[in-house]
Structure 1
Amino acid sequence: MLNNDRLLVQILLLGLLGASLWVLAPFWSALFWAGVLAFASWPLMRLLTRWLRGRQAAAAGLLTCGWIVLVAVPLVMLGFNLADHIRDATVMIKGFQVEGLPAPPAWLAGVPLVGQSLVDGWQTIDQQGAALFATLRPYLGQVGNWLLARSAQLGGGVLELALSLVLVFFFYRDGPRLAAFVHSLLERLIGDRAEHYLELVAGTVQRVVNGVIGTAAAQAVLALVGLYIAGVPGAMLLASLTFVLSLIPMGPPLVWVPATAWLASQGDYGYAIFLGIWGFFVISGVDNFLKPYLISRGGNLPLVVVLLGVFGGILAFGFMGLFLGPTLLAVAYRLLGDWVANAPVSADVIETEAQARESK
């Protein structure tokens, strides 16, 4: 009877755990990002708590307000910036429909081998502009629907971000108690190795955070250089937006692509081509090798494991996979390594070693 009662209690506990996970399911993404943000900035939280003489709630409130200002203000400015670019692009397209394309730039004919062909193509598009826009009109509707769907996803992402910035306050305030609870839970599950794997997960997440922030800083600096050379106004502001948008996949093109289009609309075709090439190969291209290198730096994981974790995690889990992928592969790799290192020695090996010692 005692065993039946214990089994019933275990079933009830599993049911309660499943129901709790079901209730929290809509908030997993916000909880995840709040936890990552709190973990990455925990040294700052400790420093601020010391300055405030141990008042954790006040330190958590100030740090949360700082994150809100740091993240919300650039996003609002980005929204206005994109709205202005969309409005300018709409006016430019309507102007092309009515007045046609401007005259081809003088340097276009001087392009080696293909200069005259480019000029002829420019004039052909100008002469057949109405027919071209009529041909593209059905596809413009599909592009509009795609942009509408992406806008809805962006709105959902902004709501998740806002919820994360609220939840991060509680992670700051209750962080030590949550860490102690997780440590006790792992000790019950895996025993003395709990501390080892907690350090492994913490180190992996910290390196991923350093890689993401380091890559974002590098892309912001490169964007500032390219925008300054091309003469785009507000280069410092756009570089700051590049830093924020570098934290999401395919974020930097939301800055340098509209800037390239603005240069083309102003007739600066040379600088527009330069900024397009610089943005595609330098600003966006640096993400492909700098981030994996920074994540693998300082750890004992092979670079291929980090690469597979980063790219495979993003494909499997979205942007959360940037953190989940390397962490899961790191833990699995270390578990397998410990299992191989602690493999039982066979009787034949023991006998061979004993004979070798006797022969000496």
Structure 2
Amino acid sequence: MENPMQHTQSKLFVNNMMESAIRIGLLFMLLVWTFDIIKPFVIPVLWGAIIAVALMPMTQKLERALKGRRGLAATILALAGIILLIAPFWIVSSSIFDGVSHIVAVMQAGDIKIPGPTQRVADIPLIGDKLFDAWALFATNLEKAVLHFLPQIKTGVSAAAGMLGSSLGTLVMFIISLAIAGGFMAHAEKSSAAVSTVAVRVVGKNGEEWTSLTAATIRSVLLGVVGVAFIQSLLIGSALFTFSIPAAGIFTFIVFILGIAQLPPLLVVLPIIFYVFSTQDSTPATIFTVWVLIAGVSDSFLKPMLMGRGVDVPMPVILIGAIGGMIAAGIIGLFLGAVILAIWYELFTTWLNMEEAQLASAKEADGAEDKHVTAPEQSGKDA
């Protein structure tokens, strides 16, 4: 039969267990509700931190030029970033709107004249014959062509509308992120101290070092991915505008997005090359082809030059992290993936060198002990 002491202990254990379960459940509910509240702000705050880290060296230079006015320097950079975001979007949107308005006006007037394809289009390998037939159908009988390709046209229009809506949402999100980045840059020391304190509290003595590694990796990815994409789009865009390619601004913007997404710009360039060869003479078409092909493969030597600068992590590790992170989490994964793999690389190298570090520490301890032992002996001899 159970004695009163055991019964009391069992009852106390059950009470403690129930109380702990209730506390853990309430804490879990609080965490879930908190996450639901801050969820809309997580991505803008992450982007704000990434932009602030990337622009901090420029902020410090501008601060010195403005005689120590950090807040003004951060505000100027944030406003400049917002203008740089809005201006291309406005230009591209205006170009699309003007193009659509022109097409609607021409269709209403009934003066639609599409030039027919040349034999060069038919000579294109693999797709030449189909492209020639489709182009000829649009040139000779537009109404029949529209009815024939109506499902594809509807799909394309829906995709374009969805892309435009998504781009507008992304633009608003980045404007908010730039405003947050301005706040981070204006209070950089306090923000950095808070992050370092949390990092040291979470991971120990290496936290501050990993915080510096995170900042350097973000700058490296920004320079090696976004910087290379910008250079490529600038080179290809200059060729498009030089040779008066229709919708050159839109194609340049698409090349920039493909470069950030780590996709080859040749996906856009190759169809344009076919178009140039079918509409222009051989000499300018050849010059255009060489120009855009060199620009399209320029990332193969630009990335090794720009990515990994200032970081003691091999460039392939950062590149794999950036590409894998983007596949897993979108554009922001470019930075998060690179940071995570860089930290894992540091952990791995630390683990590999742990035994050597322990041996070195042991030797230093033995040397200090020998000095401590020989010191009294030497003093005795002197006496």
Structure 1 residues 217, 102: CA separation in 2 closer, same or farther (over 3 Å shift)?
A: closer
Query: Do the aligned partners of 2:232 and 2:259 also contact (CA within 8 Å) in 1?
Result: no
Superposition RMSD in Å: 4.8
Query: Do the aligned partners of 1:310 and 1:323 also contact (CA within 8 Å) in 2?
Result: yes
Query: Do the aligned partners of 1:310 and 1:325 also contact (CA within 8 Å) in 2?
Result: yes
Q: TM-score, normalised by structure 2?
A: 0.68
Counterpart Cα distance in 2 of 1:112 and 1:203? 47
* Residue equivalent to 2:49: 35
In structure 1, give the amino acid aligned to 2:82: I
Q: C-alpha deviations, 1:161-208, integer Å up to 9, x for none? A: 121122122112222111101111122223221222122212211111
* Residue equivalent to 1:214: 227
* Residue equivalent to 1:328: 340
* Residue equivalent to 1:308: 320
Query: Do the aligned partners of 2:230 and 2:256 also contact (CA within 8 Å) in 1?
Result: no
Q: By how many angstroms is 1:86 displaced?
A: 3.8
Counterpart Cα distance in 1 of 2:218 and 2:132? 55
Choose from 58, 80, 84 the match for 1:66: 80
Question: Secondary structure at 1:192's aligned position in 2?
Answer: coil
Counterpart Cα distance in 2 of 1:7 and 1:287? 56
* Residue equivalent to 2:377: none
Query: Do the aligned partners of 1:187 and 1:194 also contact (CA within 8 Å) in 2?
Result: yes
Structure 1 residues 279, 333: CA separation in 2 closer, same or farther (over 3 Å shift)?
A: same
Q: How many residues align?
A: 336
Choose from 1, 4, 22 the match for 2:36: 22
* Residue equivalent to 2:367: none
In structure 1, give the amino acid aligned to 2:81: W
- After alignment, is 198-207 or 267-276 more displaced? 267-276
- After alignment, is 136-145 or 32-41 more displaced? 136-145
In structure 2, give the amino acid aligned to 1:190: V
Query: Do the aligned partners of 1:230 and 1:274 also contact (CA within 8 Å) in 2?
Result: no
* Residue equivalent to 2:195: 182
1:1-360 matches, cutoff 5 A: 19-88=33-102, 94=107, 101-105=114-118, 108=120, 121=133, 126-127=139-140, 129-232=142-245, 248-249=260-261, 260=272, 268=280, 281-283=293-295, 285-287=297-299, 290-291=302-303, 294-297=306-309, 299-343=311-355
Q: By how many angstroms is 1:243 displaced?
A: 8.9
Structure 1 residues 273, 133: CA separation in 2 closer, same or farther (over 3 Å shift)?
A: farther
Question: Secondary structure at 2:204's aligned position in 1?
Answer: helix
Query: Do the aligned partners of 2:223 and 2:307 also contact (CA within 8 Å) in 1?
Result: yes
Query: Do the aligned partners of 1:292 and 1:306 also contact (CA within 8 Å) in 2?
Result: no
Structure 1 residues 78, 275: CA separation in 2 closer, same or farther (over 3 Å shift)?
A: farther
Question: Secondary structure at 2:187's aligned position in 1?
Answer: helix
Q: C-alpha deviations, 1:237-257, integer Å up to 9, x for none? A: 88986797577538997xx77
Q: By how many angstroms is 1:289 displaced?
A: 6.6
Counterpart Cα distance in 1 of 2:129 and 2:64? 69
In structure 2, give the amino acid aligned to 1:41: L
Question: Secondary structure at 1:296's aligned position in 2?
Answer: coil
Query: Do the aligned partners of 1:215 and 1:291 also contact (CA within 8 Å) in 2?
Result: yes
Q: Which one has the largest radius of gyration?
A: 2
Q: By how many angstroms is 1:234 displaced?
A: 11
Counterpart Cα distance in 2 of 1:53 and 1:345? 46
Query: Do the aligned partners of 2:121 and 2:132 also contact (CA within 8 Å) in 1?
Result: no
Q: C-alpha deviations, 1:47-98, integer Å up to 9, x for none? A: 2323333333222222222222232222212221232334456667x59x97
Structure 1 residues 8, 179: CA separation in 2 closer, same or farther (over 3 Å shift)?
A: farther
Query: Do the aligned partners of 1:296 and 1:302 also contact (CA within 8 Å) in 2?
Result: yes
Counterpart Cα distance in 2 of 1:138 and 1:7? 58
Q: By how many angstroms is 1:148 displaced?
A: 2.3
In structure 1, give the amino acid aligned to 2:329: F
In structure 2, give the amino acid aligned to 1:139: Q
In structure 2, give the amino acid aligned to 1:154: S
Q: TM-score, normalised by structure 1?
A: 0.72
Report the identity percentage: 24
Structure 1 residues 124, 160: CA separation in 2 closer, same or farther (over 3 Å shift)?
A: closer
Question: Secondary structure at 1:301's aligned position in 2?
Answer: coil
Counterpart Cα distance in 2 of 1:119 and 1:188? 63
Structure 1 residues 124, 11: CA separation in 2 closer, same or farther (over 3 Å shift)?
A: closer
Query: Do the aligned partners of 1:109 and 1:118 also contact (CA within 8 Å) in 2?
Result: no
